[in-house]
Amino acid sequence: MNPRQYLLAAMLALPAFGAAQAADVELWRLDCGSIRIGDLSAFSDTLRYQGEERTLTDSCYLIRHDASYMLWDTGLPAALLGASQEGGGMKPSLATTIKDQLSEIGVAPEKIETVGISHNHFDHVGQAADFPQARLLIGKADLDGFRAEPPAFAVDPSLVKPWLDGKGALEAVEGDKDVFGDGSVVMLSTPGHTHGSHSLLVRLAGQGAVLLSGDTVHFEEQFDNNGVPPFNVDRAQSLASMDRLQDMAKALNATLVVQHDANDIAKLPAFPAGAK
């Protein structure tokens, strides 16, 4: 997409941000795993956090738009259920599945009509194939990453096989994407972590606007110190995307939720409660 096309996409998205919300929208925070980090300095290209350890959350989200259901990210693969987090390095583990959590609130897997993906790393698409009937929304550049030979860092194409095989509805997103056409749920282009990374704006009647970060940052401190992991694909884009989310949070008086930060996800109700 050339600069003129990006400008046009942004101009088309602007009315959606200010649109009156008529739909009944509800948001649930799901437990989609955790990742034990033995050396947190791996998340800073300036080698901050030397000697620190931390467990990152791997949250994903269910959104009800009237009678339509959408998942935002699908967490770690079910193969990691009960995996040990002992030892060094990065240790992902899953305690429950999305399907099991949906059953607690009476939502059949077949009701999921849309799966929106922040980016193509395995810890955000792990359970996507459990919902093959859904339309998959993902940044075009990240879709291309699934098809690359060899696949990009942390990318496992088998996790989105139904869509790569042409059996599922698939939309490659460029720029921002108004998911339901009324401004209530908008994918926001926030490249830098990957070339096609997105965050999500959800407008709730009661709580107000909520911004879900994707992997624009992995924990709150990175906003304060401009922290960029060395495995991000573009440092300048990473910083610009961080600025975009923070500026939007101020403009909308939004709740900004860093999806990998345990303190941040606690800004939303604990499952099975939802936010409205």
The reported pLDDT for the residue numbered 65 is 98
For 195-232, give the DSSP string: TT-EEEEEEETTTEEEEE-TTS-SSTHHHHHT---TTS
Does residue 139 lie in a domain region? yes
Statement: residue 69 has pLDDT above 60: yes
Q: What is the count of structural domains for the chain?
A: 1
Does some domain include residue 147?
yes
Evaluate whether residue 115 is within a structural domain: yes
27 pLDDT more than 50: yes
Q: Is 84 exposed, middle or buried (0-12, 13-18, 19+ CB in 10 A)?
A: exposed
User: How far is Cα 67 from Cα 45, in angstroms, rounded to an integer?
Assistant: 44
Q: Which domain holds residue 22?
A: 3-265
pLDDT value, residue 17:
55
The CATH number linked to 133 is: 3.60.15.10
In-domain check, residue 274:
no
Q: Is the pLDDT of residue 275 over 70?
A: yes
Please provide the size of the chain in residues.
Answer: 276
Tell which wins on pLDDT, 257 or 5: 257
Is 224 contained in some domain? Answer: yes
Asked if the structure places residue 248 within a domain, the reply is: yes
Instruction: Establish if 273 belongs to a structural domain.
Output: no
- What's the Cα-to-Cα distance from 206 to each of 27, 66, 203, 267, rounded to whole Å? 11, 15, 9, 14
Does residue 271 lie in a domain region? no
User: HSE-up of 274 (CA within 13 Å, CB side)?
Assistant: 18
Reply yes or no on whether the pLDDT at 155 is more than 90: yes
